[in-house]
Structure 1
Amino acid sequence: MSVRRLAKDQPASFAFAKATKTKLDWWIQKYPEDRRQSAVIPGLWLIQKQEGWVSEPAIRTLADYLGMAYIRVLEVATFYTMFMLEPVGSAALIQVCGTTPCMLRGSGELMKVCKSRIGPKQTLSADGKFYWEEVECLGACVNAPMAMVNDYYFEDLTAADMNQIIDDFAAGKSPKPGPRVDRVNSAPEGGAQTLTDPKLYDGSAAKPIKKLPNSEPVSA
């Protein structure tokens, strides 16, 4: 596992937005009062949704709010790679899967596009709009190669698709997530290939259940 450290440049302070604090309080209420620290992961996630990343002042603020030692929240934030510890793009955070199925299907070409359009891995683009990184399996292997952009999966990608996605986000658009081929979710391209007989679903092929001897229900 790689070493994860806080960004060198940090903001002077952090404050919960009203909506963030309301949602955090909702999470805290799910736990007994003496277990409010269990809301640390939801709290870090809400901070990231508010700011785009998790800063050192935000970690301290959350620790104080949950009654935790600062180091305990820092341990959680640095352990889970879902938490970004440095500023990310204002338009898009692109996470390209680099695990074997995606690599075999061409994720290396997607990374080449990101390098040429954004910069080296884990680097903010010059205009501050984009940030990209290589990540481990995102669990959409059948739709490889794929990438998660902000909160959504973009699948069955080509280099041209990645270029277009970056162009769209740069222009302020919201490209549609999901597969880039003719499939629904993880179904085969072109539609289902098996279990296509309508009789399987309209009840016409159902056979009556035979009553077995001595099958009367037994009273309690």
Structure 2
Amino acid sequence: MTDTKELVKTLADKYGRTRESLIPILQGVVQEERYISSEAMSEIARELDMSAAKVYGTATFYSFLDTQPRGKYVIRVCRTISCSMKGKNLIIQEIEDLLKIKVGETTSNRKFTLLETNCLGWCHKGPAMLINDEAYTELTPEKVREIISEYIKK
């Protein structure tokens, strides 16, 4: 893992040091470190000459900007009404049973984190989930078992 101060400086050099640079820099930190630490937020505030409160407020507002350590594979299940109507709760139950964690938790080996999130844009093919950047749609408990089993093997 890279040094946080150096990472933030590199990202600021790449994206600039304006208000518009904040989200791309936060995304870059998540991509590199898998979450945004307090240290990273302070460093971003210093580098962009803005308040730490502004950085924290932005980082915690967006669900895909993780401010807590997450697993290697972050599973985000859509929680919209359309996915709920198509069986989202069965999908979550299957994942919880397979991984022995609840929504919001990370496995003890730090391999998986299970989260619910707002619309993923796949309402017409729900229920849907993302594992990191990979979308899975029209899920059934059986399909979820196959998908998660493949990730367990990795």
Per the TM superposition, whether the score is higher than 0.5 is yes
Structure with the bigger percentage of helix:
2
CA deviations on 1:75-104 (whole Å, 9 max, x unpaired) are: 1111112211111112x1000012111111
Number of the residue aligned with 1:124: 106
- 2:138 aligned with 1:148, yes or no? no
RMSD: 1.7
Alpha-carbon distance in 2 for matches of 1:16, 1:149: 28
Alpha-carbon distance in 2 for matches of 1:14, 1:22: 10
Deviation at 1:41, TM superposition (A): 0.7
Number of the residue aligned with 2:142: 160
The AA in structure 2 aligned to 1:27 is: Y
The AA in structure 2 aligned to 1:146 is: A
Number of the residue aligned with 1:44: 26
Whether contact under 8 Å (2:9, 2:47) holds in the other structure is no
Deviation at 1:159, TM superposition (A): 0.9
Instruction: Provide structure 2 residue ranges, at least 5 long, that are not aligned to the other structure.
Output: none
Deviation at 1:145, TM superposition (A): 0.8
Alpha-carbon distance in 2 for matches of 1:166, 1:54: 26
CA deviations on 1:116-159 (whole Å, 9 max, x unpaired) are: 12311111112210001111211110111110110121111111
- 2:91 aligned with 1:110, yes or no? yes
Task: Choose between structure 1 and 2 for higher RCO, CA contacts under 8 A separated by at least 6 residues.
Answer: 2
Deviation at 1:21, TM superposition (A): 5.0
Instruction: Provide structure 1 residue ranges, at least 5 long, that are not aligned to the other structure.
Output: 1-12, 29-34, 173-220
Alignment of 1:8-47 (within 5 A): 14-17=4-7, 21-28=9-16, 36-47=18-29
Q: How many residues align?
A: 151
- 2:51 aligned with 1:69, yes or no? yes
Alpha-carbon distance in 1 for matches of 2:65, 2:149: 26
Deviation at 1:23, TM superposition (A): 4.8
Secondary structure, aligned partner of 1:123: coil
- 2:76 aligned with 1:95, yes or no? yes
Identity of aligned residues (%): 26
The AA in structure 2 aligned to 1:121 is: V
Bigger Rg, which one: 1
Secondary structure, aligned partner of 2:5: coil
CA deviations on 1:163-208 (whole Å, 9 max, x unpaired) are: 2221111211xxxxxxxxxxxxxxxxxxxxxxxxxxxxxxxxxxxx
